[in-house]
Amino acid sequence: MSTFLVQRLMQALVLLLIVSMIGFAILHLAPGGPLSQFAAGGEMSQEDLDRITEQLGLNRALPVQYAEWLWRMLRGDWGLSYRDHQPVLHIIASHIGATLELMLTSTLLAMLLGAWIGILGAIKRYSLFDSLATIGAMIALSIPTFWFGLVVIYVFSVGLGWLPSGNRYTIGDGSFLNQIHHLIGPCIVLALVSTAVWSRYMRSSMLEVINQDYIRTARAKGVPEGQILLRHAFRNALLPMITITGLHVPTLLSGALVTETVFTWPGMGRLFLDSISYRDYPVVMGILMFTAVLVLLGSLIADLLYGVADPRIARNG
């Protein structure tokens, strides 16, 4: 087990290094730079722009800039945002709360709902419920998130006035209920797609399991149907779900870009979008590395959980 862990961690470090190199190169080689926003205003002279370029070290060779960045990063200094003049870690930390709140709620909702729909669909295959669930999932998967978000706002905020049209809370009212009220809209939008995906995975993996010999054996032995489903089928059907969840962890923290933008949710997704459009290199690289670590961590955890859920796959030694 420990050898496995060490191996995986070594692999992870190499991967992180490669990710950082590619990310850094792509970001810096893309045309345009962080000073373009000031140039657009037209109030800065070329001299001013050149001076700031020099002060930010942007006129140095790319490998030099990368080496400097890596050295600082290794010492725990993620740099200062060009836009915000704040430490990158500080900026990421200030956006993660909003993203966690939104993603955890919607993921929980989608998992419970998705698992329920999937299991029920598998047990009652080709029933009316199953057909409706299938059609519903297809529709949900094909709806563009952006459009659906706007529809929710249009119908429930502008039209009916039931929900706020965005934001995390009403300014001047930080109560818990107020925050829940604001969560509903973006949660519906985010959960819709995840529920559809999860219900499909759950259904097919459940179907696979309930046609196995051991289920038939259990049924022949007269084990109650409820027990068969819960103890034997569900546990095994969960295996593929663990992988999917493991890979979902990073999106939990890197945020839902589109939904956060439509609902003006101040989370990581929007921070990433803003930072890219501004070419705020330190922040983009910070989020990139943060997400890369999460992806690696997510898949590692999924691998370890595999062993817990199904001892046959557990690694020895």
Partner 1 sequence: MTKHSNETIRSTFPMPALHRREVLALGAGGLLAASGLGARAQTKAAPPPPAKPTGQVVVGLSQEPTAFNPLMPGIEVDETVWMQLFNTMWLADPQGNLMPDLAAEIPSEANGGISEGGLVWKVKLRAGVTWHDGTPFTAEDVKYTLELINAPGFKSRTRVGHALVKDIKVTGPLEITWRMEKAYAPYLALLSNTFIVPKHLLEKASDPNTAPFNSAPVGTGPFKWGTRQPGDNITLVANEKYHGKGPYLEKAVLKYVPDQTALYAQFRTGQVDLIIGTGIPANFYEEAKKLPGRKVVMIPNASLEILMPNLENPVLAEKAVRQALYASINKQAIIDVIYYGTHKPTESFAPQESWAYNPNLPKQQYDLAKANKILDEAGWKRSGSGVRMKNGVPLEFAVSTTTGAALREQCQQLMMQDWQQVGVKMTISNMPAAVIWGEFYTRSKFQSLLVGTAFRTVIDPDPASRFASDAIPAKNGSGANQMQWQNAEVDKLLKAGQETFDQAKRKEIYWKLQEIAREELPILPIFQYAPIEGYKEGLIGYEPNINARQNTWNMGSWYWAR
Q: Rule CB under 8 A: which residues touch partner 1?
A: 30-33, 35-49, 51-52, 55-56, 80-81, 83-86, 91, 94-95, 98, 150, 153-154, 157-158, 161, 164-168, 170-172, 261-264, 266-267, 270-271, 273-274, 277-279
Asked whether the beta carbons of 296 and 20 are under 8 A apart, the reply is no
Of 54, 194, 32, 27, give the one whose Cα is nearest residue 113: 194
Smaller CB separation from partner 1, 240 or 266 = 266
**Considering beta carbons, is residue 60 or 83 the nearer one to partner 1?**
83
Query: Least distance in Å: CB of 94 to partner 1?
Result: 5
- Cβ closer to partner 1: 44 or 301? 44
In the complex with partner 1, the residue whose CB is nearer, 56 or 123, is: 56
Please state the closest distance from residue 105 (CB atom) to partner 1, in A: 18
Pick between residue 161 and residue 317 the one whose CB is nearest to partner 1: 161
* Spacing of C-alpha 143 from chain mean position: 19
Q: State the nearest-atom distance from the C-beta of 21 to partner 1, in Å.
A: 22
170 phi/psi in degrees, rounded to 5 = -75, 135
Helix (H/G/I), strand (E/B), else coil: 80 = strand
Least separation in angstroms between residue 33's CB and partner 1 is 5
Reference 156, options 263, 269, 259, 266; nearest CA is 263
Single-letter amino acid, residue 309: A
Q: Whose structure tokens read 């870009």?
A: 257
C-beta of 175 vs 227, nearer to partner 1:
175
**Smallest separation, CB 58 to partner 1 (Å):** 11
Closest distance between partner 1 and the C-beta of residue 255, in Å?
10
User: What does the alpha-carbon distance between residue 66 and residue 283 come to, in Å, rounded to a whole number?
Assistant: 14
Q: Of 264, 99, 104, give the one whose Cα is nearest residue 194.
A: 104
Single-letter residue type at 27: L
What count of other Cβ atoms lies within 10 Å of the Cβ of residue 189? Answer: 24
The nearer residue to partner 1, 61 or 171, going by C-beta atoms, is 171
Dihedral angle, C-alpha 177, 178, 179, 183, nearest 10 °: 100
Residue 284: strand, helix, or coil: helix
Smallest separation (angstroms) from partner 1 to the CB of 196: 25
